[in-house]
Amino acid sequence: MTSFQTWLTHPLIFEAVLFSISVIAGIFGAILGLGGGIVIVPCLTLLFGVHLRYAIGASIISVIATSSASAAAYVRNHMTNIRIAMFLEIATSLGALLGAVLSTHVPQRLVFLFFSLLLFYSASMMFRKQHPKQVTQNPPQGLSARLRLSSAYPEHPGKITSYTVNRAFTGFILMLGAGVISALLGIGSGVLKVPAMDMAMGIPLKVSSATSNFMIGVTAATSAGTYFMRGDILPVIAAPVCLGVLVGATLGTKIMVRLPTVFIRKIFVVVLLLVAVQMGLKAL
């Protein structure tokens, strides 16, 4: 009997623990723009022994829930750049379709290994962003200027900060890869979206996170139909995950404006490194 089957012999405990983990995943997902999947997938596979395909199916649903709960709040607070989100979502949606097709042809061990490397990459990027650089004020050029992507956001209550967006085409290419990863691993691919917007396009971190939350739901919804038709979304797993993530993401949008991002980032770097090591060992 697998550990997943053992947990199912106590359904109330299983649902309660899974709900609690999903709340935490929703909080981190909403604050950092990563989506709950980056926590949900390793927890389901390592803690509960769930097969990777079902973990990814539940994670896809959790990403949609995270986006649904947090996007409205961030748009209402003028943190989200909707022009950037709509432009880049074209690329991530195309990438998600490709990733959903490739997911049936990629060996499970390779997926674990790739996920481990992705977590190490995410941790390194988060660590480097503990001391964010100054936002550039150079005039926008090329595609960024034509699409009028530059905007402003409330950095602090009562303080509006303007920012300039550049290298829109580079961001578009990076989002193609992010969409593939989202469908292949069942995550919101915020681990690539946020660094791409923040470092490649010069978008402030808080705006990048809020915009990523707006985008990840559309990306996940693009590939969710494929996973549903294959029978990879089990209600007994997806239901508590979805409810927990909704609660957590709602809390996360409120925590983001109260807690220093550096503090949250340091904690999450440690979590990512621990999970990355575990996933890497499982792959090997």
User: How does pLDDT run across 90-132, given as a tens digit for each residue?
Assistant: 998 888 788 878 877 777 678 778 778 877 887 787 677 655 5
CA torsion, ordered 63, 116, 3, 35, to nearest 10 deg: -10
Q: Which residue has the higher pLDDT, 176 or 206?
A: 176
pLDDT at position 156: 67
Range of weakest confidence among 1-10, 33-42, 147-156, 195-204: 1-10
Which range has the top average pLDDT, 88-97, 99-108, 188-197, 219-228? 88-97
Identify the bridge partners of residue 159 per DSSP, sorted by sequence position: 156
CA angle at 20 for the pair 18 and 25, rounded to the nearest 5° = 90
pLDDT at position 177: 82
Task: Answer positive or negative: Cα dihedral of 27, 28, 30, 35.
Answer: negative
Checking if the pLDDT of 2 tops 70, the result is no
pLDDT in tens, 57-79: 888 888 888 888 888 888 888 88
Average pLDDT in the chain: 79
Checking if the pLDDT of 269 tops 60, the result is yes
Q: How far is 284 from 281, CA to CA, in rounded Å?
A: 5
Q: How far is 86 from 97, CA to CA, in rounded Å?
A: 17
pLDDT tier, 154 (very low <50, low <70, confident <90, very high otherwise): confident
Phi/psi of residue 152, each to 5°? -150, 160
- What is the DSSP-derived secondary structure letter of residue 187? S
Q: Which residue has the higher pLDDT, 265 or 106?
A: 106
Phi/psi of residue 230, each to 5°? -85, -5
Q: Shortest CA distance to 223 belongs to which of 91, 101, 96? A: 96
SS3 154: strand
Over residues 228-237, the mean pLDDT reads 86
Checking if the pLDDT of 153 tops 60, the result is yes
**CB 68, CB 217: distance < 8 Å:** yes
pLDDT at position 137: 58
pLDDT tier, 135 (very low <50, low <70, confident <90, very high otherwise): very low
Checking if the pLDDT of 136 tops 50, the result is no
Q: Which residue has the higher pLDDT, 2 or 44?
A: 44
pLDDT at position 157: 64
**To which residue do tokens 């923040």 refer?**
198
Over residues 48-65, the mean pLDDT reads 85
Buried b (16+ CB within 10 A) or exposed e, 258-284: eeebeebbeebbebbbebbebbbebbe
| pTM of this structure | 0.75
Helices (H), strands (E): how many in the chain?
12, 2
pLDDT tier, 152 (very low <50, low <70, confident <90, very high otherwise): confident
Checking if the pLDDT of 5 tops 80, the result is no
CA angle at 125 for the pair 121 and 130, rounded to the nearest 5° = 150
* Percent of the chain whose pLDDT exceeds 90: 4
pLDDT at position 8: 52
pLDDT at position 244: 92
